[in-house]
Structure 1
Amino acid sequence: SFSFPFSLPTFHSSTFHSSTFLPLISFSLSSTLNSAAIHVGFVVMQLHSRHFFLLVFFSFPLYVVFALTSDGLTLLSLQSRWNTHTPFIPLWNASDSTPCSWAGIQCDQNLRVITFNLSYYDVSGQLGPEIARLTHLRTIDLTTNGFSGEIPYGIGNCSHLEYLDLSFNQFGGEIPQSLTLLRNLTFLNFHDNVLTGAIPDSLFPNLNLQYVYLSGNNLNGSIPSIVGNWSQLFHLYLYENEFSGTIPSSIGNCSQLEDLYLDGNQLVGTLPDSFNNLDNLVNLGVSRNNLHGPIPLGSGGCLSLEYIDLSFNSYTGGIPAGLGNCSGLRTLLIVNSSLTGHIPSSFGRLSKLSLLDLSKNQLSGNIPPEFGACKSLKELDLYVNQFEGRIPSELGLLSRLEVLQLFSNHLIGQIPISIWKIPSLQHILVYNNNLSGELPLIITELKHLKNISLFNNQFSGVIPQSLGLNRSLVQVEFTNNKFTGQIPPNLCFGKTLRVLNLGLNQFQGSIPSDIGTCVSLQRLILRRNNLTGVLPEFMRNHGLQFMDASENNLNGKIPLSLGNCINLTSVDLSRNKLTGLVPNELGNLMNIQSLSLSHNFLEGPLPPSLSNCTKLNNFDVGFNLLNGSISSSLAGWKVISTLILTENRFTGGIPNVLSELESLSVLNLGGNLFGGEIPSSIGGWKNMFYSLNFSDNVLTGQIPSELKNLVMVENLDISHNNLTGSIRVLGDLSSLLVELNISYNFFTGPVPPTLMKFLNSHPASFLGNSGLCISCDETDGLSCKESSSIKTCASHSSSRLNNTQIAMIAFGSSLFIVFLLLGLVYKFVYIRRNKDTFDTFAEVGTTSLLVHKVIEATDNLDERFIIGRGAHGVVYKASLDSKRTFAVKKLTYGGCKGGSQSMIREIKTVGRIKHRNLIAMEDFWFGKDHGLLLYRYQPNGSLDDVLHQMNPAPALTWEVRYNIAIGIAHGLIYLHYDCDPPIIHRDIKPQNILLDSEMEPRIADFGLAKLLDQTSAPTVSSSFAGTIGYIAPENAFSAAKNKASDVYSYGVVLLELITRKKPSDASFTEVGSIAAWVRSGWNETGEIDSIVDPMLVEELLDSDRREQIKKVVLVALRCTEKDPNKRPMMIDVLNHLIDSKTKQSTVSLD
């Protein structure tokens, strides 16, 4: 039996002609339904002689099948290569006589296909060679699908083709040479594919192209000079490729050219003078190349120019005055391009100019008053230059101005009153200048003002008391000026204020009570003023994250309501006159990381509830009147690194619980009433990298021998106690010890030779120990006379040795010789075998047994133990036993002398940093040409492994991804705000995010970029720039990094978590970055279905989960703003991420 894949029409025998039989059979052999046709043909021929009626009956369906035109059959053949994910696309019906009514198809009067349009149909697969059969095609539009493979060479056979759009697909390979046959082609769009190779020279001479879009690919080579032959060309888009060489001057022959975009390539040389011949040019973009030389624009006709972007190049000279003749100009961007000189006064003729950005150059002189004539100007960005003089009052004539950014220049004088009268003003950022004067009352009438940043200037006077009535205020930053008077009330009247930074001024009076009810406030900085009165009640400040009211004259008690601010991560109330108890309610601050209450008059015990603050990293209550025991408060502080309790009245012994605080690096218990002996458990504090202070207590007993395990400690103060016995154990600490004070105890015996350098430089640190002495022959140049503060040890005994003593000496000498020989054997057998790893311990900085064990476990760092290679070195896995596994990073110094004191000090600084979301260093070793850093091995590898390397890829729920994002944010906040000085990571990427057994993220390699800068050869550029794809745009040509750089990198990682796409993914080639790709998809649809990892699609069915992911996407896009000043701080990022779980929260791109 035989069945057709479509319905049969009613049969009328009168329509059949037997003469059609053989041609139909022969045609069927070349059709796409060969198997069906041959089968039917066979049946008909068998029945021909006996049953003619059956012949007719079976031949008619055959006639129907092949009544479809050849163009239709070709389309069906093309369709057989595709997949479509859009179920509502009408199926092409094979039983139709023509394809002219099919979706996306149009025909001419001869029923030949002339339009082939499947744009936005979500079709994937390949465009087959059958396309060559559609010879009458005039339009091919396949934009925004998933086509892949090469563009078929046979497309050149479509000789009538006028319009060819294959944009937003995955076509690869080279541009086919056959396109030169398309003499009628006027529109060519290959934008956003993965095409490679050069532009064929043959593409240009014979075509009449008017619109060419080849942007967003991987095309290379030079731009052919023959492009000038396209005399009818209107648009030429070549941006975001890998073109090199110079810009051909022949482009100037394209007299009709309107749009020319060459941004984001590797072009060199100068801008051609022939650009001035392009009288019809409207838009010109050449940013992000390697261009140099002068800017030639403006010397010819440029009246049509509306948009110019020349940013991120390295021009010489200044801005040409001729640009002022481009009277139609609306946008001019020349950012970070090494410009010098003055801004031409001719710019005053640019009456249509809306956006002018000349930031991050070396422009100097005065800001031209002629800007006042630019009546259309909405944004003026001149920040980070060398402008001087006063801000011209003529800027006040810019009635449409919304953004004025003049920060980081050398401006002086007052802000003209006329500027404060601009009704549309929203953002005024003039910080880091030398401006002065007072804020006028009229500032309160700026109803749209959102951001006013005046910090680091010389402003004085009072802040207008009605400033807070402005409902739009978001950010007020007046730090480090000379403001006086009282802080205005109602600054949060509009419930939009997020940042209030008034530190380092001369404000008086009390803190307005309404600050305590500002629900939108996230950062409050009032430090170093003359504020008095009590702290306000904090009733509804759940969004408050950072609070600093230190160095004032505040009094009264710490309000219990401060415990309501559950999102606080940092509180500093030090150096005030606060009294009363430390509130038990502070134990509610589950997210607190830094709490400083020092230099007040607080009393009573520390509340046990503080043990709930498990994220606490820095705790300082020094110089108060606190008392009682401390052990119960410390139990939960597993990540504490700095603990300062100095100058209080704490009693009891030094608690053993301190040995459980594995991250502790600074401990100051000085000036209390701690008694008893120093616990032997002190030997377990292996992470005590920096400072240990037990001074001014009533400690007794001897120094425990376990103290020698603290080989990394720099500052040790045990003075003014009742300690006794020898100080020999302190000699083992001398290699890295910087400061030592053992004065006023009851120590006896000789001073170890290794401590004589401290006795020589700071003899007072040894005073008050009458039993100490020195041996003159071990003073390393220090004579007994010079050390008169300490007596000389007896050089020999006056009595004669007896036979037993002589025998003991002889026996001891023999043992010494035996051990000496064993030592020599060890040196020549073991150390020589490992000499490639250990050159000398003289430069090591540690002689840890752990390092030896790691070397043994990896068979002298054999290659089979390598688990990774990165920018900072090779990583080995060392398993010591079932419970201890380490990752060993081997650093190669290049041309630097290994083990320098600066390197050791730097690595010690890094080693002191302890946080739950940072990889803690366990130990280190430095040799002559390389060093070793030891970390705990993380069983789940890196985030890059989980996202991209593991096969099969593990399913990551949104909750897991969200927690990873939160953890990374916590780690960066600690580096940025809780380290002193702040640490910029400079290379945030998934490879540097390690995951422990609970999938908790831990940031690796922080601080190593700076360390490696020290170790590079002096003849080599040593600044570590980061990893391509994660580098902030402002750092593309500069290695200088700041917090905003890390925020950008974090945003890229966040997008990578959401999309599971690498920043180098080919789909981003056209738009330039993963952020631009996501932003483009967002702007088009406002939805995230096409953005997120397909593994998350099911979770999008939950409306609450969908909304949360959308909010996190918006956070990531804010982090990846091109302008670093528009990026949020990491503290703000964390707050937005936390808020994304609440239905009421909002995040926007504004």
Structure 2
Amino acid sequence: MYQFDIKLLVYLLLVVASGYCMANDGASIQLNDDVLGLIVFKSELKDHSSFLESWSEDDNSPCSWRFIQCNPVSGRVSHVSLDGLGLSGKIGRGLQILQHLKVLSLAHNNFSGNISPELGLINGLERLNLSHNSLSGLIPSRFMNYTSIKFLDLSQNWLSGPLPDDLFGECLSLRYLSLAGNNLVGQISSTLSRCSSLNTLNLSTNHFSGEPDFASRIWTFKRLRTLDLSSNAFSGSIPEGVLILHNLKELQLKGNKFSGPLPKDIGFCPHLIRLDLSNNLFSGELPESFRMLNSLSFINVSNNMLTGEFPQWIGNLSSLEFVDFSNNGLTGSLPSLMGNLKSLNYLSLSNNKLTGFIPNSLVECTKLSVINLRGNGFNGSIPEGLFDLGLEVVDFSENGLMGSMPRGSSKLFESLRILALSRCLQSWDTFRTLTELDLRNNDLYGSIPEDICESASLGILQLDGNSLAGPIPEEIGNCSSLYLLTLSHNNLSGSIPKSISKLKKLKILKLEFNELSGEIPQELGKLENLLAVNVSYNRLIGRLPVAGVFPSLDQTALEGNLGLCSPLLKGPCKLNVPKPLVLDPNAYANQIDGHRPRSESSNPKSSRRMFLSVSAIVAISAAVIIAFGVVVISLLNVSARRKLAFVDTALESMCSSSSRSGNITANKLILFDTRSSPDWIINNPEALLKKAGEIGEGVFGTVYKFPLGAEGRMVAIKKLVTSNIIQHPEDFEREVRVLGKARHPNLISLEGYYWTPQLQLLVSDYAPNGSLQVKLHERLPSTPPLSWTNRFRVILGTAKGLAHLHHFRPPIIHYNIKPSNILLDENFNPKISDFGLARLLTKLDKHVMSNRFQSAVGYVAPELTCQSLRVNEKCDVYGFGVLILEVVTGRRPVEYGEDNVVILSDHVRVMLEQGNALECVDSGMGDYPEDEVLPVLKLALVCTSQVPSSRPSNG
């Protein structure tokens, strides 16, 4: 009747035992309270590295244990500090026995489950740190004993729901509060205003909303030094009165929906060091009071709607190290006093309306590492000496700069990683230590330097849209790290170097609109990572490489080369083979026979007759040989087709011998791995569907789950839409069996089918974790977002599943790749569903097909709307690219606002071009490796190219 948790039972027994001992042995045994409490706490943990091995129940006191401190007077445990030990499990109740505990710190572990309400009510507890764990659920009401607590950190967990109204109570002693990095929602609790002694308040990276009553809740905190409300959904304007926060050092409000002008009195916070107001809706001019922030080292007001003149007083803030005013509407010019910023390391003013010269005084900013002036109206030349500063990132693209690019010193060669000068310069220079070189759309001329690949780390080389001439140097093969090479729209000539085949990491090669000639080296087909190639509009001839990406290239990647051999191209096919040798039988005799009559040897008509005769013989012979070859090949093809038809018929007969004899088996469930079917299918299939649990409905039908057979294995059963679409049941069975052979770990396996003229069912695997659509967009607040590890597992597995479909014979094109068709098993491995149904249900009416595409807004490749284009697997690649973007950003492919429509692929592409791609990443998934996420985003943009030939092939 009663069920007990065995660990809780042990705990109760220990508590009873300890109470008995205290009653009979006095204070000497009381020391065991701490031992008992810690042992019970330890018993509920998983200590993978045995850090707590020294904790033994046989000890009389825990004061000698690792990570434990005791009060030297009372001998009772005062500090438990277990940060970063890799512990997991629940935070058990044993800690509640430690009634003399002052500090409890369990940060940077993997504790899970809910927070016990009693944990924070330990008498005298001053410091509680549970940050960076996997705790979930609601924050308990009246959680803290606020008469003593000074420090509370619950950040970076999976806590959800709103803050309890009575959470804070009388919290006069509270100095530090951080709830950052959770899934908390709603408005800030009104009781927070009672915490008037706060000096740090961090509520960032949650889902708080509304218009905070700053005047009564936050701006009255006179002792506040750090205020971080970033990455929430707060809105409204900030009232005047900031001057009350005289001690404020950090103010971070980025990533909200704050609007209106910036508070004019922020400048009256003399100790302010960090100010981040980026990614909001602030408007108007920068307040003049900012000039008084003499201690300011970090200022970021990017991605707002600020206007007015660029502040000429900026040079007076000599402590500045980071300045970002990008993506606003600031006008005017940069002041000459910029050189006063001796500590400046990062300067981004991109995408404003700034004009004038780049001040020469910038060369005095000796610590400058990143400078981004993209998308303004700067003119003149780049200041001499600027490239002597050891810059790492330089972006002067889309300005009106003129003149030569100053030659940098060896210090520049040692430091520069990214150089972007698109549409701004009229000169050429080389750099040796770059990872990215972008000189597109300038007026560069001359040849590509042979030493351009002296940088062993160069990954991106983009020289498109210039006036470069001459050959592509063979030394290009020395760029061993190159994965993006684009040289299009130049005047390059000569052949494509074979050395490109050495670039094993190369993914994209664009050489279109040049004057390249000769054959494409067959060796390029060995580049396994090559995803996209465009060689259109050159003078290339001959056969394409037979391997790699080349056999699947579309017409747009090859057109404009009248000599290339491809069935996609019109015009003659020129092979680079020796021309046939035509001999004049009199030519040799004329040279050695000096006695031949002049009239015979010099008669042009006689020579012409002999020449035409030999040419005619050669032509006729060649025509006969070709005709004979065509006939032989045709006969062989007919024979081969007959053999293949025979083999297919034999295999089909073998596969279906257990279930059909000339006609499809009706009124019976056919399972591919058994010869019999459950009787309840034969008698009453509709009753099955009534008993089964409906789990979803799509364009192709309704899906149910049901335990199959005596073993109760769960399967998914799809009831196909409309019964009049199957005209030939034999065709239905044949197609179903073809789909049943498509087996792969990342595909939902088709297990069987049921057919009658009125009802058709498909039986397939059941995925217990539901669809990716639910995990991304429809999850409950209590469910944590997908981690980067699981998201990457989804992306990789989906790619493998698609590749298997595209290499299947005959190839299977899905046409409908989207999160609702990606199902997840118990380990979050993706399984593609609904593949092949478009081919199976060939008689779908226009209404159903229209609904299918309406349900996949944003995923449908643009060529699917144009019937004149050849549709192939690249339609799936487009949908896969959109799915990648959705997985990484957590956003839908198309989002509708009140005044605009945001296309996700366009948004990410713009952010990537601005160097802000990582701002698109879903902040809810926690920590992630930037060096993995950024290439995945770039791959997604390649997959979503509007031109099919620019997308990768074969999934």
Partner of 1:1117: 933
Q: Distance in 1 between the 2:635 and 2:403 partners?
A: 57
Which of 570, 585, 590 aligns to 1:622? It is 570
Partner of 2:14: 32
- The answer to whether the Cα contact below 8 Å between 2:31 and 2:75 also exists between their aligned partners in 1 is no
Q: How far is the alpha carbon of 1:510 from its aligned partner?
A: 2.4
Q: Distance in 1 between the 2:495 and 2:746 partners?
A: 37
- Judged with a 3 Å threshold, the aligned counterparts in structure 2 of structure 1 residues 512 and 159 are, in CA distance, closer, same or farther, namely same
- The answer to whether the Cα contact below 8 Å between 1:298 and 1:321 also exists between their aligned partners in 2 is no
Are positions 1:491 and 2:449 aligned together?
A: no
* 3-state DSSP of counterpart to 1:371: helix
* 3-state DSSP of counterpart to 1:571: strand
Q: Distance in 1 between the 2:285 and 2:702 partners?
A: 46
- The answer to whether the Cα contact below 8 Å between 1:373 and 1:397 also exists between their aligned partners in 2 is yes
Question: 1:494 is aligned with what amino acid?
Answer: S
Partner of 2:225: 258
Q: How far is the alpha carbon of 1:131 from its aligned partner?
A: 4.7
1:85-100, aligned counterparts within 5 Å? 85-90=48-53, 92-100=55-63
- Judged with a 3 Å threshold, the aligned counterparts in structure 2 of structure 1 residues 557 and 216 are, in CA distance, closer, same or farther, namely closer
- The answer to whether the Cα contact below 8 Å between 1:155 and 1:178 also exists between their aligned partners in 2 is no
1:168-247, aligned counterparts within 5 Å? 168-176=132-140, 178=142, 181-193=145-157, 194=159, 196-201=161-166, 203=168, 205-224=170-189, 227-247=192-212
1:710-1109, aligned counterparts within 5 Å? 868=696, 878=720, 881-884=732-735, 945=770, 964=797, 966-967=799-800, 990=822, 995=831, 1008-1010=856-858, 1030-1031=889-890, 1039-1042=902-905, 1045=908, 1072-1074=923-925, 1076-1079=926-929
Q: Distance in 1 between the 2:484 and 2:64 partners?
A: 63
Partner of 1:587: 546
Deviations 1:831-850 (A, max 9, x none): xxxxxxxxxxxxxxxxxxxx
Q: Distance in 2 between the 1:866 and 1:150 partners?
A: 32
Partner of 1:788: none
Q: Distance in 2 between the 1:77 and 1:574 partners?
A: 72
Q: Distance in 2 between the 1:863 and 1:318 partners?
A: 66
Q: Distance in 2 between the 1:1131 and 1:491 partners?
A: 31
- The answer to whether the Cα contact below 8 Å between 2:510 and 2:534 also exists between their aligned partners in 1 is yes
Higher gyration radius (CA): 1
Q: How far is the alpha carbon of 1:330 from its aligned partner?
A: 1.9
Question: 2:573 is aligned with what amino acid?
Answer: L
Which of 80, 83, 100 aligns to 1:119? It is 83
Q: Distance in 2 between the 1:1040 and 1:1010 partners?
A: 8
- The answer to whether the Cα contact below 8 Å between 2:151 and 2:176 also exists between their aligned partners in 1 is yes
Are positions 1:302 and 2:269 aligned together?
A: yes
- The answer to whether the Cα contact below 8 Å between 1:269 and 1:293 also exists between their aligned partners in 2 is yes
- The answer to whether the Cα contact below 8 Å between 2:168 and 2:191 also exists between their aligned partners in 1 is no
Question: 1:186 is aligned with what amino acid?
Answer: K
Deviations 1:917-936 (A, max 9, x none): 999xxxxxxxxxxxxxxxx9
Which of 497, 506, 509 aligns to 1:547? It is 509
Q: Distance in 2 between the 1:292 and 1:557 partners?
A: 60
- The answer to whether the Cα contact below 8 Å between 1:941 and 1:994 also exists between their aligned partners in 2 is no
Q: Distance in 2 between the 1:572 and 1:544 partners?
A: 13
* 3-state DSSP of counterpart to 1:328: coil
Q: Distance in 2 between the 1:490 and 1:188 partners?
A: 58
Are positions 1:442 and 2:301 aligned together?
A: no
Identical residues among aligned pairs (%): 25
Does 1035-1044 or 985-994 show the bigger shift? 985-994
Question: 2:508 is aligned with what amino acid?
Answer: F
Q: Distance in 2 between the 1:197 and 1:959 partners?
A: 31
- The answer to whether the Cα contact below 8 Å between 1:104 and 1:116 also exists between their aligned partners in 2 is yes
Q: How far is the alpha carbon of 1:173 from its aligned partner?
A: 5.0
Q: Please list every run of 5 or more consecutive structure 2 residues that lacks an aligned counterpart in the other structure.
A: 1-9, 577-625, 639-644, 646-684, 704-717, 721-725, 738-743, 748-760, 776-788, 807-814, 839-851, 863-881, 913-917, 946-951
* 3-state DSSP of counterpart to 1:119: coil
Which of 163, 167, 171 aligns to 2:131? It is 167
Partner of 2:379: 413
Q: How far is the alpha carbon of 1:392 from its aligned partner?
A: 4.0
Deviations 1:457-481 (A, max 9, x none): 2533x413xx1xx321222222233
RMSD over equivalenced CA pairs, Å: 5.7
Deviations 1:403-453 (A, max 9, x none): 22232x34253442337434222222233x252424335147531222222
Q: Distance in 2 between the 1:656 and 1:943 partners?
A: 53
Q: How far is the alpha carbon of 1:491 from its aligned partner?
A: 0.6
Q: How far is the alpha carbon of 1:591 from its aligned partner?
A: 6.9
Are positions 1:312 and 2:279 aligned together?
A: yes
Deviations 1:110-140 (A, max 9, x none): 2333223333344445445565543322222
* 3-state DSSP of counterpart to 1:276: helix
Q: How far is the alpha carbon of 1:292 from its aligned partner?
A: 1.2
- Judged with a 3 Å threshold, the aligned counterparts in structure 2 of structure 1 residues 282 and 31 are, in CA distance, closer, same or farther, namely same
Q: Distance in 2 between the 1:184 and 1:242 partners?
A: 29
1:642-681, aligned counterparts within 5 Å? none
* 3-state DSSP of counterpart to 1:232: coil
TM-score, normalising length: structure 1: 0.53
Question: 1:542 is aligned with what amino acid?
Answer: K
Q: How far is the alpha carbon of 1:310 from its aligned partner?
A: 1.4
- The answer to whether the Cα contact below 8 Å between 2:893 and 2:903 also exists between their aligned partners in 1 is no
Deviations 1:961-1007 (A, max 9, x none): 79626548989x9xxxxxxxxx999979956997469999x9x9799
- The answer to whether the Cα contact below 8 Å between 1:478 and 1:503 also exists between their aligned partners in 2 is yes
- The answer to whether the Cα contact below 8 Å between 1:279 and 1:303 also exists between their aligned partners in 2 is yes
* 3-state DSSP of counterpart to 2:407: helix
Question: 2:284 is aligned with what amino acid?
Answer: G
Partner of 1:277: 244
- The answer to whether the Cα contact below 8 Å between 2:821 and 2:832 also exists between their aligned partners in 1 is no
Question: 1:428 is aligned with what amino acid?
Answer: V
- Judged with a 3 Å threshold, the aligned counterparts in structure 2 of structure 1 residues 939 and 367 are, in CA distance, closer, same or farther, namely farther
- The answer to whether the Cα contact below 8 Å between 1:569 and 1:593 also exists between their aligned partners in 2 is no
- The answer to whether the Cα contact below 8 Å between 2:223 and 2:245 also exists between their aligned partners in 1 is yes
Partner of 2:443: 482
Equivalent residue pairs, number = 722
Q: Please list every run of 5 or more consecutive structure 1 residues that lacks an aligned counterpart in the other structure.
A: 1-27, 41-59, 607-618, 629-648, 660-680, 682-856, 887-915, 920-935, 951-955, 974-982, 1015-1023, 1050-1054, 1056-1062, 1065-1071, 1080-1113, 1133-1137, 1139-1150
Q: How far is the alpha carbon of 1:159 from its aligned partner?
A: 3.0
- The answer to whether the Cα contact below 8 Å between 1:510 and 1:531 also exists between their aligned partners in 2 is yes
- The answer to whether the Cα contact below 8 Å between 2:859 and 2:893 also exists between their aligned partners in 1 is no
Q: Distance in 2 between the 1:106 and 1:231 partners?
A: 31
- Judged with a 3 Å threshold, the aligned counterparts in structure 2 of structure 1 residues 530 and 236 are, in CA distance, closer, same or farther, namely same
Q: Distance in 2 between the 1:277 and 1:503 partners?
A: 55
- Judged with a 3 Å threshold, the aligned counterparts in structure 2 of structure 1 residues 373 and 124 are, in CA distance, closer, same or farther, namely same
Q: Distance in 2 between the 1:199 and 1:152 partners?
A: 15
Deviations 1:73-94 (A, max 9, x none): 4444555555544434125333
Deviations 1:289-326 (A, max 9, x none): 22111111554423322222212221222322322321
Are positions 1:331 and 2:298 aligned together?
A: yes
1:103-118, aligned counterparts within 5 Å? 103-108=66-71, 109-118=73-82
- Judged with a 3 Å threshold, the aligned counterparts in structure 2 of structure 1 residues 140 and 573 are, in CA distance, closer, same or farther, namely closer
Are positions 1:575 and 2:557 aligned together?
A: no
- Judged with a 3 Å threshold, the aligned counterparts in structure 2 of structure 1 residues 872 and 261 are, in CA distance, closer, same or farther, namely farther
